[in-house]
Amino acid sequence: GENVEQHPSTLSVQEGDSAVIKCTYSDSASNYFPWYKQELGKRPQLIIDIRSNVGEKKDQRIAVTLNKTAKHFSLHITETQPEDSAVYFCAARGSGNTPLVFGKGTRLSVIA
């Protein structure tokens, strides 16, 4: 089945700097790659997703890139703000009718 590795597990950046979180997946047939944000004590919520027919997608300060050949995808957050502090999860959906598989998460701390 699908296996998703996520790095780093923790990340600290200064406010205004950029943050990059990287994930790799194992199933070359995977076709959907969402990112979820979980604030402390809250539920995970979708912030951006990308499908395998697209290489990059942007939404304001957030962007996701996908490299199908290397089987990795990344989340980029520019001009980080304290409210970006949270745990971020990447996920991938493998072939067939398999559910999403999540990475282990990255705890991002934005230092004011």
Partner 1 sequence: NAGVTQTPKFQVLKTGQSMTLQCAQDMNHNSMYWYRQDPGMGLRLIYYSASEGTTDKGEVPNGYNVSRLNKREFSLRLESAAPSQTSVYFCASAAGTSGNTGELFFGEGSRLTVL
Q: Which stretch binds partner 1 (CB under 8 A): 19-27, 45-53, 57-65, 78-86?
A: 45-53
Query: Is 80 buried (19+), middle (13-18) or exposed (0-12) by CB count in 10 A?
Result: buried
Distances (CA, A) of 103 to 81, 91, 110: 23, 6, 21
Asked whether position 40 contacts partner 1 by CB under 8 A, the answer is no
User: Cα separation of 66 and 55, whole Å?
Assistant: 5
Report how many residues bind partner 1 under the rule CB under 8 A.
Answer: 22
With CB under 8 A as the contact rule, the residue among 37, 50, 103, 110 that binds partner 1 is 103
Distance CA 50, CA 36 (A): 12
For residue 76 the two structure tokens come to 């980029």
What is the per-residue binding string for partner 1 in 50-89, x denoting contact by CB under 8 A?
---------------------------------------x
Phi, psi of 51 (to 5 degrees): -110, 165
Shortest Å, Cβ 78 to partner 1: 23
Of 61 and 104, the one with the shorter C-beta distance to partner 1 is 104
By the criterion CB under 8 A, which residues form the site for partner 1?
6, 9, 34, 36, 42-46, 49, 89, 93, 96-105
